Amino acid sequence: MSGRIEIRRELRERDLEEVVAFHGRVYGREYGVDDRFEEMVAGAVGDAIRRGFPGDRERVWIVERHGEFAGCLALTDEGDDTGAVRWFVLHPSVRGRGLGRRMMDELMSEAHELGFERLKLETFSDLTVAAGMYRSYGFEVVDEDTRPRWGRDVITYQYYEMDLARRARDEAPMDPVAGSA
């Protein structure tokens, strides 16, 4: 894949099917997972569709390179002012250009503007670069599940969360009048 990289922020016909298939291709090749991984992604995408994805408080980023699908990211509304970071994967040819961080920056900004108080995401421990990025935004591992899955002997599935409301308070500039004695 070579050429111009574009990020679309709207879904087109068959995009969600490609999100599922793309996960299967990339993660199968890079991490040796079998078809059950793609089935899990398909289940999550199907659940989102049944809830009306993309709704008013949901966003999607579709990466294309020369018009071909090259990655994706989504923010889903999980109810109770909780959003989920979903389906974040990039083709190897578009990695290392700051694209992932740019999309996460946009997602974080959108989540704040949409009034989410918490964000969560699910991943597995082999994705060390992604984990480093998630932690840099303030996500913390809240649970792990290590066992055989997706055709591999052992995978540690991780659940991350972030208190977005607390992060916004912590990052707010201090009022110089209120801060003085």
Cα distance between residue 47 and residue 145, in whole Å = 22
- Count of the separate structural domains present in the chain: 1
What mean pLDDT is predicted for residues 81-90? Answer: 97
Asked if residue 54 belongs to a domain, the reply is yes
pTM listed for this prediction? 0.89
Asked if residue 18 belongs to a domain, the reply is yes
Asked if residue 176 belongs to a domain, the reply is no
Question: Do residues 138 and 167 touch, judged by C-beta distance below 8 A?
Answer: yes
Question: Do residues 54 and 11 touch, judged by C-beta distance below 8 A?
Answer: yes
Please name the residues in contact with 42: beta carbons below 8 A apart, sequence gap of 6 or more: 20
Domain that holds residue 11: 5-170
Q: Output the CA–CA distances (angstroms, integers) from residue 150 to 6, 40, 155, 161, in the order listed.
A: 32, 9, 8, 24
Asked if residue 181 belongs to a domain, the reply is no
What phi and psi, each to the nearest 5 degrees, are found at residue 111? -60, -40
Which tens digits make up the pLDDT trace of 26-67? 999 999 999 999 999 999 999 999 999 999 999 999 999 999
- Band (pLDDT 50/70/90 cuts) for residue 165 is confident
Asked if residue 13 belongs to a domain, the reply is yes
